[in-house]
Amino acid sequence: MAPPLPRGDDILARRHGVLAEVQEHYYDTPPRIERGWREYLIDLDGRVYLDMVNNVASVGHAHPRVADAATRQLNLLNTNSRFHYRVITEYAERIAQTLPAELDTVFFVNSGSEAADLALRLAMASTGRTDIVAMREAYHGWTFASDAVSTSIADNPNALATRPEWVHTVAAANPYRGIHRGDDAERYGPEAVAVIDHLAASGHAPAGLICETFFGNAGGVALPPGYLAQVYEAIRRHGGLAIADEVQVGFGRLGEWFWGFEQQRVVPDIVAVAKSIGAGHPIGAVITRREIADRYRTQGYFFSSTGGSPVSAAIGLAVLDVIEQEGLQQNARVVGAHLKRRLERLAESHPIVGAVHGAGLYLGVEFVRDRITLEPATDETAAICDRLLTLGVIMQPTGDYLNVLKIKPPLCVSLESVDYFVDSLDRVLTMGW
């Protein structure tokens, strides 16, 4: 029998005492999570929660194949990535195989922030320029460069006012809540092109443009049809590169598409990915064309001690195997479509549901106080998330106004689990929060 779990200690108070205050945790009084299994989390008292928010645990919590791969590799060899070992090559080949043929060269790092940072530096090194175009209301990471292109006011209320001068922004191409709505959303593309043209004409031809390929930070909002084709064409016409941040939305989560850029029918020059590819283990990757990668030399050499380490690569391979062999992209498509249909039905009886965004298992339920003005129901969203916790569902808000439920469960989530989620949400919306 397993030994009894320690209880009644002051671990939360100690956490507050020793960790930086800005390093937040979910919930004011969070359950203390001890274990995970598939889409479930289990707390100290043995209470089971349905984890509807965790795209990091992409293949499910504590997947035995991932755990076995990590243990086996740890017992054999784990070292820095300058050594010559088999698994880094195999993993790089497998990642490249998921992408269009020209994206054939891989860098390994340890996180999404590092991947976005490296992608920006590659664009700068490759073009010999420093100006970058970024979409507003985005989050790309905490490192110096990835933070510079992050403009979400949910993360930093002063975001737009404090960007360095090399960062130029275009409107968040959100057809639901952005400056152009509905049919008017077709204006985002030409307006962003005009910004890029203007920069080039004024001597600031950009090194690149960075944005999510499917608007994850807004709760899984699809960009307007043709948007990326227009802005990628403009950036390339002026000699810059198209950077796709696939950290949230890539790697099978969208169901119909393995990569978010496929939904927009474009191919980027540089792809940044992380989070789900390591199923919780820190792995990030940047994939680009050989000639772009080679230009990094102008900045020196590239070395990340643990980026692509034997253990990271073994875990990454196991994650890819699980996605393929357990049909998780297909599960995202089928279960995601069922979940989206059920959420859309909730909108019929609950006026607070302004819209249901997304595809596959990246969905967003946007709460508004008024369906015409779209006044964000921010406080209500926080209260609904707290109330869902009492029903055993882990859910968190996203978006600049924190009024969108960020629905991105492990890709193995079952139909029964998503039904439980919708039933619980229905109950909260009906009974009050």
Nearest to 397 by CA among 413, 373, 380, 374: 380
Amino acid at 332: A
Stretch that binds ligand PMP, among 17-25, 136-144, 153-161, 392-400 (CB under 6 A): 136-144
Nearest position to ligand PMP, beta carbon: 112
How are the residues of the chain apportioned to helix, strand and coil, as percentages rounded to the nearest 5?
A: 40, 15, 40
Stretch that binds ligand PMP, among 5-13, 15-23, 133-141, 414-422 (CB under 6 A): 133-141
- Chain positions 259 to 278 lying near ligand PMP, rule: CB under 6 A, are 274-275
For 311-354, the three-class secondary structure string (H helix, E strand, C coil) is HHHHHHHHHHHHHHHCCHHHHHHHHHHHHHHHHHHHHHHCCCEE
Give the x-and-dash track for 113-132 against ligand PMP (CB under 6 A).
x--x----------------
User: Minimum distance between the CB of residue 277 and ligand PMP, rounded to whole angstroms?
Assistant: 10
User: Minimum distance between the CB of residue 55 and ligand PMP, rounded to whole angstroms?
Assistant: 9
* Residue 253 engages ligand PMP in binding (rule: CB under 6 A): no
CA 334 – CA 256 distance, rounded (Å): 9
CA 274 – CA 297 distance, rounded (Å): 24
CA 132 – CA 123 distance, rounded (Å): 9
* Residue 417 engages ligand PMP in binding (rule: CB under 6 A): no
| CA gyration radius, the chain | 22
Select the residue interacting with ligand PMP from 140, 163, 340, 408 (CB under 6 A): 140
Centre a 10 Å sphere on the Cβ of residue 323 and count the other Cβ atoms it contains: 26
Select the residue interacting with ligand PMP from 247, 270, 355, 418 (CB under 6 A): 247
DSSP state of 387: H
- Are 410 and 393 within 8 A, CB to CB? no
> Please, which residue, 271 or 412, has the CB nearer to ligand PMP?
271
* Residue 245 engages ligand PMP in binding (rule: CB under 6 A): yes
Select the residue interacting with ligand PMP from 36, 60, 112, 224 (CB under 6 A): 112
* Residue 174 engages ligand PMP in binding (rule: CB under 6 A): no
Select the residue interacting with ligand PMP from 139, 215, 296, 362 (CB under 6 A): 139
Stretch that binds ligand PMP, among 25-33, 106-114, 250-258, 285-293 (CB under 6 A): 106-114
Select the residue interacting with ligand PMP from 212, 269, 366, 400 (CB under 6 A): 212
CA 34 – CA 395 distance, rounded (Å): 18
Strands 404-407 and 397-398: antiparallel
User: Minimum distance between the CB of residue 142 and ligand PMP, rounded to whole angstroms?
Assistant: 6
* Residue 424 engages ligand PMP in binding (rule: CB under 6 A): no
- Sign of dihedral through CA atoms 256, 260, 265, 268? negative
Strand-by-strand arrangement of the 105-109 sheet: 105-109, 284-288, 270-273, 241-245, 208-212, 132-135, 167-170
* Residue 178 engages ligand PMP in binding (rule: CB under 6 A): no
- Are 40 and 63 within 8 A, CB to CB? no
> Please, which residue, 118 or 425, has the CB nearer to ligand PMP?
118
Tell me the β-bridge partners of 108: 285
- Are 289 and 263 within 8 A, CB to CB? no
* Residue 248 engages ligand PMP in binding (rule: CB under 6 A): yes
* Residue 402 engages ligand PMP in binding (rule: CB under 6 A): no
> Please, which residue, 95 or 353, has the CB nearer to ligand PMP?
95
* Residue 336 engages ligand PMP in binding (rule: CB under 6 A): no
Size of the site for ligand PMP (CB under 6 A): 14
Residues that bind ligand PMP (CB under 6 A): 111-113, 116, 139-141, 212, 216, 245, 247-248, 274-275
